[in-house]
Amino acid sequence: MPRYCFVSRVDPDRLDEYRRRHAAVWPEMLRALRDTGWRNYSLFLGDDGLLVGYVETDDLDRAKAAMAATEVNDRWQREMAELFADGGRPDENWRLVDEVFNLDDQLAALTPEPGKDR
């Protein structure tokens, strides 16, 4: 399953509001993410506003396009835009970062040691 990581930046003055809104995401938004192929989706927020996202999906471009076509995503993005440092739609201002290491992948590629499990 392809894994994707992205970064963005929340306005440091709006971190508490960002956290509050994500503590109870709208149920229809959660269902839309699930129904459009987003799996194991997590967001991490630093005290300086650095936002790091992680998602697994078969095709990121297709999953993003499917979400963009939903009414709930349009409403969510418009409401969240005010919390971001760049002021744009959050779902259009990601910067993808390359995965350079994955423990499970490398462990799976190891030749088992004699007499030991991986």
Which residues are identified as catalytic?
22
Rg of the Cα trace of the chain? Answer: 17
Helix residue ranges per DSSP H, 38-89? 60-68, 71-81
Q: Which residues contact 102 (CB under 8 A, 6 or more apart)?
A: 3
Residue type present at position 70 = T
